[in-house]
């Protein structure tokens, strides 16, 4: 049975949530479902969705509270026979409700973040009375949502999905990537992938590298992600002080040109809904050191696929890195175990679970 779905996302940048939406939409398209991508005009999602051939509804700019866009979207939902309206961010859920109020549709809201609005009393009202199901990416977020007053039976955990490389890259690929960064094969290369925002902990990774200067002089760090660290005046001097030991990549379009060059993946987040970047690293056979925060303990298995450290502690992170670098056999085993674990988070599994939810609702 074909389902007609409208996805709503109001983010301007193409980050983790938007990439997950595209991954879901591709999988649903392959299964024959009809989809409409509702996003802001000029956004990264609008450009990518259009490029990939999805039907796009662009919310007009300079539209106070999206009033005009909501009116147009309501007409679109009515004429297209949309059955599911899936909001992928908080503001999108408000738009979904207003645009479909009184229409015979089922509303789904995704919750990916661990923080709540300042006026917390509105949260349970919003997610209890304006949608029929709340999707959380981890048990941790589900617990937070239920604690606010949303009925547990209305929530479902569907972790992020990842695309696993068919074959793991070899030594030649690792050597090529490291050479492009100006580093040697024998260096111990650490990497982090994530938006350059405060909660991702790039500052903690840099501090850990400083602590390792004597214990692990061959340690190198590459930071990659969306956004510009140059906007953070406290961040830039720290990078410059490390000289050739640090590389900053403004964006990574092909993970195959980044992850194979690493020995160890870092995720020293101060807040994390799940940790899809850690899953991507594990898919490439990399062990992970991450913070014991949010949904990360649901991804990283201590001493099996990597190590967990207290959030905000550069000392603990440095100790874990030194431990990993000192036992290469264990490092390789953790990478192998991580690859196996990542298989349980494949994009196909995520799409199947979401499709099953849609079918149950309609």
pLDDT for 231: 53
Total structural domains in the chain? 2
Arithmetic mean of pLDDT, 20-28: 98
Q: Which residues pair with 55 in a beta bridge?
A: 36
**Same domain flag for 47 and 65:** yes
Euclidean distance between CA atoms 249 and 278, whole angstroms: 18
Q: Is residue 166 part of a domain?
A: no
Produce one character per residue of 82-116: b if its CB has 16 or more CB atoms within 10 Å, e if not.
bbbbbbbbbebbbbbbbbbeeeebbbbbbbbbbeb
Question: Looking at the structure, do residues 232 and 267 belong to the same domain, yes or no?
Answer: yes
User: Range with the lowest mean pLDDT among 206-210, 211-215, 253-257, 335-339?
Assistant: 253-257
Which pair of structure tokens corresponds to residue 8? 């709503």
Clarify whether residues 219 and 192 are in a common domain.
yes
Mean pLDDT of 52-65: 93
pLDDT confidence of residue 242: 77
pLDDT at 238 over 90: no
Domain that holds residue 20: 4-161+346-361
Q: What pLDDT, on a 0 to 100 scale, did the predictor assign at position 120? A: 66
> pLDDT: is 25 or 254 the higher one?
25
DSSP per residue, 147-183: HTT--GGGEEE----BPPPSS---HHHHHHHHHHTT-
Question: Same structural domain for residues 270 and 189?
Answer: yes
CA pair distance 133, 110, nearest whole angstrom: 9
Coil/strand/helix, residue 242:
coil
The answer to whether residue 8 sits within a structural domain is: yes
**Res 116 pLDDT > 60:** yes
Same domain flag for 341 and 237 = yes
User: Taking the model in full, what pTM does it have?
Assistant: 0.91
What pLDDT does residue 128 have? 83
Q: What is the pLDDT of residues 293-305, one digit of tens each?
A: 999 999 999 999 9
Model confidence band, residue 266 (pLDDT cutoffs 50, 70, 90): very high
The answer on 210 and 141 residing in a single domain is no
Sole residue written with tokens 């409409």: 36
State the average pLDDT over residues 266-281.
Answer: 95
Q: Same domain for 219 and 152? A: no
Q: Identify whether residues 325 and 178 lie together within a single domain.
A: yes
- Flag whether pLDDT at 229 surpasses 60: no
What CATH number does the domain containing 189 carry? 3.40.50.2000
196 shares its domain with 139:
no
Mean pLDDT in residue range 311-317: 97
Asked if 300 and 208 sit in the same domain, the reply is: yes
Note whether 201 and 220 are same-domain residues: yes
286 lies in the same domain as 155: no
pLDDT (0 to 100) of residue 115: 76
CA distance 196 to 234: 12
């Amino acid at each position: 049975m074909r389902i007609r779905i409208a996805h709503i996302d109001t983010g301007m940048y193409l980050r983790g949530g938007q990439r997950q939406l595209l991954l879901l939409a591709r999988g649903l398209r392959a299964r024959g479902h009809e989809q409409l991508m509702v996003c802001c005009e000029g956004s990264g999602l609008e450009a990518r969705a259009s490029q990939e051939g999805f039907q796009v509804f662009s919310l007009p700019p300079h539209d106070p509270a999206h009033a005009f866009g909501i009116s147009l979207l309501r007409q679109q939902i009515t004429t297209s026979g949309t059955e599911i309206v899936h909001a992928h961010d908080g503001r999108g859920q408000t738009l979904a409700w207003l645009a479909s109020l009184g229409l015979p549709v089922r509303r789904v809201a995704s919750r990916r973040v661990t923080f709540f609005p300042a006026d917390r009393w509105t949260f349970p009202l919003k997610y209890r009375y304006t949608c029929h199901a709340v999707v959380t990416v981890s048990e941790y977020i589900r617990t937070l949502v239920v604690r606010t007053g949303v009925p547990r039976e209305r929530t479902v955990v569907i972790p992020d999905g990842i695309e696993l490389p068919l074959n793991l890259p070899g030594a030649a690929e690792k050597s090529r990537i490291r050479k492009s960064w100006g580093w040697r094969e024998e260096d111990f290369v650490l990497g982090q992938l994530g938006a350059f925002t405060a909660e991702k902990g790039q500052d903690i990774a840099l501090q850990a590298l400083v602590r390792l200067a004597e214990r692990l002089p061959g340690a190198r760090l590459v930071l990659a992600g969306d956004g510009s660290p140059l906007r953070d005046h406290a961040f830039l001097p720290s990078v410059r002080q490390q000289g050739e030991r640090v590389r900053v990549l403004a964006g990574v379009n092909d993970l195959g040109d980044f992850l194979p060059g690493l020995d160890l993946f870092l995720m020293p987040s101060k807040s994390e809904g799940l940790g899809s970047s850690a899953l991507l690293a594990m898919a490439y056979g990399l062990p992970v050191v991450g913070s014991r925060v949010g949904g990360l303990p649901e991804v990283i298995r201590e001493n099996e696929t990597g190590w967990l450290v207290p959030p905000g502690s550069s000392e603990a992170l440095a100790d874990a890195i030194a431990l990993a670098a000192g036992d290469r056999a264990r490092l390789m085993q953790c990478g192998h175990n991580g690859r196996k674990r990542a298989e349980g988070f494949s994009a196909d599994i995520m799409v199947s679970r979401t499709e099953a939810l849609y079918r149950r609702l309609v």
